[in-house]
Structure 1
Amino acid sequence: MTPAWRLVVAGALALGIGLGIGRFFYTPMLPLMQQEYGFDPAVAGLIASANFAGYLAGSLAGSLLRPGPVRLQAFRIGLVISALSTLAMGMTDDVTAWLVLRAIGGIASAFVMIAVAAFVAEALAPVSETGRIAWMFSGVGFGIALSGLLTEFFGSQVSSSTMWYIAGGLCVLALPFVLAEMGDRTLQASPKRPHRRRREPRPLPLVPLLINYTCEGLGYSVFATFIVAIIKSRPELAHIGDWSWVIVGLTGVPSMLLWAAAAERIGYAVALAVAFAVQIVGVLLPAFSDSGGVALLAAALFGATFMSITMLTLPLGRHGAGGRGFAILTAGWGAGQMIGPLVTGYMVTAGYDYHMALVASAAVLGFGLVVLLAAMAFRGPGVASDGRSAA
């Protein structure tokens, strides 16, 4: 394995630990924990929101990190804490302790995400290998798929606390390789290849993009938190609940590559609008059908879009607000994803069903899409660096 690929694989494992499992293992675990401990959807939403709140805080703090020893140390601490906080979820049945652990885990996963993306991008850019970054992000999808497989094959045999131990233990096992390989690297350039001019994302106004991305944070988080619980609440579909989460992960693996290729052909903003439309369909499907096939299709559509929407959004707004666009967009998205599970949990506890929560989250996504389309319309046409029409 070349040094570049070793770095990419280490980055994928780090994202699998910090996000794929550290952030999203809670989704397939939620029905098991509710069955064992008996807490209601309001508490379930609160626990999810604690993790998202931690991620928001960690993202804002992590955006201040600069290249050097401090960033490397923050990454290493974040990665270890992410693995250990996952494992520690099995050591208690106290809701307050879960809230603290999920918040800490959210902070840690944000540090991992920001540092890994920086390490890999900074190493690959000078050797013209930035196309490999999409492979690194596939680690999130693999981690999600693994979390679904763990609950499918072991969830009915052991307690929920043991499940957290298993997931956390697997993360700990991967730490030595990641810690050894991940950091600031200088890579040797490969032999020169023909240069291909690439389409440059043409920025959108920051305010409508912020509204759009905040709506994404709220809308996606409802599906990402409750979809396994929703499917398992229907007796005839309970057997595919964990498999739906596996499909979310597996479709997420190639999604970054596919949407990046689409953006090259049709423009980043147009690709983003299409991704929003696909995600809205995915979120709505389980609200209007009790079919197992439809549920799995919804999972596939969601998995194919939720990570890629972030990839498509940030280049469109990162230069806004004097270069602070990335931090501002992340703050809006983080606030949205904190609100989504919290409101949904209280809605269901108050007597509304998950169908209404899915429709409401799809409506929020729809509003975000309308704002995006309006921003695109008023921006007017433009030309990409390769002479093609840009969007």
Structure 2
Amino acid sequence: MTSDSAAISKPTPSADRIEAIDVLRGIALFGVMAVNVVMEFRVSIFEQFLGPRTPVSPIDRAIETILTEAIELKAFALFALLFGAGLAIQFDRLAISEHRTALLLRRLVVLLVFGVVHLCLIWNGDILTEYALAGFVVLPFLFAPRWLLALAALVFLALYLAMQAFPPAGLFPSRAAIWQDVMDANRIYATGGFLDVLAFRLREIPLIASLHAFVFLRTVGLFFVGALAWRSGVVQNTRVLFAIALPAIGLGAALLHIGIEPLGTVLLALGYGAAILGIAHFERGKRLLGWAAPLGRMAFTNYVAQSVIFGWIFYGYGLGLFGRLGITQSLAIGIAVYAMQVLFSAWWLRHHRYGPLEWLWRTLMYGVRQPMMLAEAMAVR
């Protein structure tokens, strides 16, 4: 191992970790889980485009409203903000390495490979592929000053809002194609074996890609916002965080109320993120929200694990509950899985430096096996 590789492959000291970011990532993962289990594993993701659904109970209706209005796209927007901040943190902490660009490119290539595997073999609702591609767009700008990051964020978010207002013709699938896909999903996901589900999953990818195309510009824009938040020191400035949180949440909610959903979603995500980060910086906030930090440190592992678990629960090669459960029942299953992951993550990180997939990602990024056990890491240091 070269001296340069040795230096950059050391673990980030605990004192250097920003626990509030881990907390926010862990909480955002709950929102992602809730939306995925209710709207994408329980039924076809395309069902929502066929018109209003009629939940069978008032509780189902209330939960669906909360998920749609307060959580659905906001949780994914939060994840994009966090990934952008994480990419900027990695970039800055590798400043002493002459191989910084190559390492970060390899990091994104490895993430892209993970994403394609997840997309094709596990679940086609994958967001890792989109994030890797967005990372390739953002990475060159991390060499630029903060004003250029801010300008890039404004440009990409403005392009996103323009595309929502004036959707390109032919980008979104026809209603007939959506209807046929939902009918096939109700049959294959519910009763098909693994190979049947795999074949249908691959066949759905072009339709899924059209959904990503509608939000890709937003993802890139939020990556820039996350990177700018890190570079400007906002992430650790509680006064600024709370100054952002309340107006962003209030204005975002108002815009959603009058039907300006794309901009309202972005503002709500910013407000949520700023509020949670601000609270998590205080001692009482740490005690209140600290349970989410281990989950956030292992978000990659937990995200993919959720796909594996929910696939087995809902698809025909497992319990085959696709289309058979209501919203409340499905969310209860999701919460149970999430709670188990909270406990598992805390236990795992008492003995290990990283989650299993985080360790593999880092090892492939550096091309050097990283110490996994805490005791092993101390011996290396």
TM superposition score normalised by structure 1: 0.34
TM superposition score normalised by structure 2: 0.35
Higher relative contact order (Cα pairs below 8 Å, separated by 6+ residues): 2
